[in-house]
Chain A
Amino acid sequence: MDAEKIIDSLTSKFPEAISDTNIESERRISAYADADNIVDVCQYLKDELQFGHLSSETAVDLIQKNEIDVVYHIGSYDHPVVLTLKAKLPRDNPQIESVVPVYWNANWYERETYELFGVQYTNHPDLRNLVLPDELLGEWPLRKDYKGFPQNTAKNLV
């Protein structure tokens, strides 16, 4: 299965939910998915397009756009294409459905993204902090709203 076919299949199945598709190379493709459809999209990717391997799930805080992007890297055991799937969430209330029912190993990734970015995963089986102590929960350490951001130079370090 090649990159172009995968994108075509995805966009024809979810014409409303998939946008900004891009073929970066024959082994790397990316797309945005509507946050409300994320579980359906993942299920389709797994069942129909052999994307059975959730490689990672994380988030990026885009403070200047006032949004948080949840980013899924989904690979396959059968073909070499890796899909970077993203969903845009509002920064003041980032909420998205958990994909644990589709990809079992999303469990810890989502717990981590929750404790580091504050993304609320609805229907997650056990949404609590994974590596931070309880008293740090709510600090969202990887968000960008800290004093001194953005740092554009490394002069203070070299």
Chain B
Amino acid sequence: MDTNVGPDEMLIHMGPQHVAQPGPFRLNVKVKGETVQDSEVELGFIHKGIEKILESKTYLQGIPVVDRACYLAALSNEEAFVGSVEKLVGIEPTERSQYIRVIVEELSRIQSHLLGYAEYASFLGFVSMFMYPIAVREKVLELLEMTTGARITHSYLRFGGVRDDLPEGFEAKCKETFEYVRKGVEEWGELMKTDMIYRERTVGVGVLTPDLAKDLGVSGPPLRATGVAFDIRKDDPYLVYDDLDFKVCTETAGDIDARIWVRVAEIYESMYIVEQALDQIPSGPLFPENLPYDRRSPVMRVPEGEVFYRVEDPRGEMGFYMVSDGSDKPYRVKIRGPVYPTMQALPPLIKGTQLADVVAIAGSMDACTSEADR
């Protein structure tokens, strides 16, 4: 962006810590009157160096590290990391553990979408709408906590399986929680359909067309809100998603409203997936019998090779490119997060919009700065 401003223009620095986006990043916006002329995203305020750290950790030690790339998607990150290692070693997780992974990853998607929705509502000024989804999300976190022992960063997946089985009473608690979630989402949905101020601020604002979204490399709900039914769970399936019945949630308008509705629809769809998985889950061991490493030892040598494994994160396509040189630590790990292209797409998306809409548009993309900075 050209930072020279004309006599009737102004340069506004939003951030590094701004309500428009959770996490520190800076959005430099050049405005003429109220209209955005140009903008630029600045990253690096929380650069964590996770790819570099992974090169000095054994594979097992890497699991808690990848959790922290984006704590809202800790379980998807683990799936991408653990799945990559499994592909390199040639381990097939047992069917029971695959189902358990699907269950916890979908629960993780629900809590992420609830938080994303809550934060977004607060950006628009609906502070009470922040509180309600957060209260519901708490119940979902309780489910994750009783399974993994942690609310946010779980370190739950293991090469070939999962750390622990589902706890006693999980199914009953799940049923109770889902009733609560459905009731809550229905209530807010009504508000989203009827509140005039909400409609004015979201319908037709920040429109992405399918072609533009594809060109910008956007994935996840922002892409599906333009009508493109691209979902890794269907297009490049992993775990037991092939055995489960679910649809890819799409909208066609491509505006803020559509992005939020895609997430709402995905909350319902994830609950449906979890219910099916609980019905279908087979009994059996959590780990394969002939595991090529000792589960109690954190050291595991991984054969030389490389792999690219991707999963559907709450925010889109999360992929790990991993190169192994045959030692017990990865030679190189590249994390392909969904947020990078989403944040990169902000400047073209907000160009020509009103300054007041920047906050709403940025919020509706549900980008996680922490994951972009990794």
Find out whether the CB atom of B317 lies under 8 angstroms from the CB atom of A154.
Answer: no
Is B13 close to A, CB under 8 A? no
Find out whether the CB atom of A133 lies under 8 angstroms from the CB atom of B44.
Answer: yes
- Residues 33-52 of B, flagged 1 when their CB comes within 8 A of A and 0 if not, give 00000000001100101011
Once the chains are docked, how many angstroms separate the CA of A152 from the CA of B55? Answer: 11
Which residues of chain B are within 8 angstroms of A130 by Cβ–Cβ distance? 43-44
Q: A80-B236, A158-B299 are in contact. Are A105 and B216 (CB under 8 A)?
A: yes
Which residues of chain B are within 8 angstroms of A108 by Cβ–Cβ distance? 340-341, 344
Interface positions of B from 305 to 320, Cβ below 8 Å from A: 306, 308, 310, 317, 319
- Give min CB distance, A4 to chain B, whole Å: 18
List the A residue with the shortest CB-CB distance to B332.
Answer: A60
Interface residues on chain B, size class: 35 or more
Q: Which one of A55, A61, A152 lies within 8 Å of B327 (CB-CB)?
A: A152
- Give min CB distance, A67 to chain B, whole Å: 14
Q: A58-B334, A105-B341, A152-B327 are in contact. Are A157 and B61 (CB under 8 A)?
A: yes
Which residues of chain A are within 8 angstroms of B298 by Cβ–Cβ distance? 154, 158
Interface positions of A from 120 to 158, Cβ below 8 Å from B: 129-133, 141-142, 150-154, 157-158
Find out whether the CB atom of B319 lies under 8 angstroms from the CB atom of A55.
Answer: yes
Find out whether the CB atom of A142 lies under 8 angstroms from the CB atom of B321.
Answer: no
List the A residue with the shortest CB-CB distance to B335.
Answer: A56
- Give min CB distance, B211 to chain A, whole Å: 10
Q: Which one of A53, A58, A129, A150 lies within 8 Å of B325 (CB-CB)?
A: A150
Is A84 close to B, CB under 8 A? yes
List the A residue with the shortest CB-CB distance to B298.
Answer: A158
Interface positions of A from 35 to 90, Cβ below 8 Å from B: 52-56, 58, 60-61, 71, 73, 75, 77, 80, 82, 84
Q: Which one of A61, A84, A133, A151 lies within 8 Å of B308 (CB-CB)?
A: A84
Find out whether the CB atom of B49 lies under 8 angstroms from the CB atom of A141.
Answer: yes
Is B3 close to A, CB under 8 A? no
Once the chains are docked, how many angstroms separate the CA of A158 from the CA of B300? Answer: 12
Once the chains are docked, how many angstroms separate the CA of A141 from the CA of B299? Answer: 25
Find out whether the CB atom of A151 lies under 8 angstroms from the CB atom of B327.
Answer: yes
Q: A55-B317, A56-B336, A130-B43 are in contact. Are A157 and B57 (CB under 8 A)?
A: yes
Find out whether the CB atom of B214 lies under 8 angstroms from the CB atom of A107.
Answer: no
Chain A interface mostly: loop
Which residues of chain B are within 8 angstroms of A61 by Cβ–Cβ distance? 332
Find out whether the CB atom of B214 lies under 8 angstroms from the CB atom of A132.
Answer: no
Is B99 close to A, CB under 8 A? no
Q: A77-B214, A157-B57, A157-B61 are in contact. Are A141 and B52 (CB under 8 A)?
A: yes
Which residues of chain B are within 8 angstroms of A75 by Cβ–Cβ distance? 236
- Residues 322-356 of B, flagged 1 when their CB comes within 8 A of A and 0 if not, give 01010111011010100011001100000000000
Q: Which one of B49, B58, B321, B325 lies within 8 Å of A56 (CB-CB)?
A: B321
List the A residue with the shortest CB-CB distance to B40.
Answer: A126
List the B residue with the shortest CB-CB distance to A155.
Answer: B299
Which residues of chain B are within 8 angstroms of A151 by Cβ–Cβ distance? 56, 327, 329
Find out whether the CB atom of A104 lies under 8 angstroms from the CB atom of B217.
Answer: yes
Find out whether the CB atom of A53 lies under 8 angstroms from the CB atom of B328.
Answer: no
List the A residue with the shortest CB-CB distance to B230.
Answer: A77
Which residues of chain B are within 8 angstroms of A52 by Cβ–Cβ distance? 214
Q: A73-B319, A130-B44 are in contact. Are A53 and B217 (CB under 8 A)?
A: yes
Is B366 close to A, CB under 8 A? no
List the B residue with the shortest CB-CB distance to A61.
Answer: B332
Tell me which of B56, B217, B236, B340 has the highest count of chain A C-beta atoms within 10 A of its own C-beta.
B217
Find out whether the CB atom of A55 lies under 8 angstroms from the CB atom of B49.
Answer: no
Q: Which one of A27, A107, A129, A153 lies within 8 Å of B344 (CB-CB)?
A: A107
In the assembled complex, 30 residue pairs joining A and B whose CB atoms fall closer than 8 Å, in A order, are A55-B317, A55-B319, A56-B321, A56-B334, A56-B336, A60-B332, A73-B308, A73-B336, A77-B228, A82-B308, A103-B217, A104-B216, A105-B344, A107-B344, A108-B340, A129-B44, A131-B47, A133-B44, A142-B51, A142-B52, A150-B327, A151-B56, A151-B329, A154-B58, A154-B298, A154-B328, A157-B56, A157-B57, A157-B61, A158-B299
Which A residues form the contact surface with B (CB < 8 A)?
Answer: 27-28, 52-56, 58, 60-61, 71, 73, 75, 77, 80, 82, 84, 103-105, 107-109, 129-133, 141-142, 150-154, 157-158
Q: A105-B216, A141-B49, A158-B299 are in contact. List 5 more A-B contacts (CB 8 A).
A: A105-B344, A130-B44, A141-B52, A142-B51, A151-B327
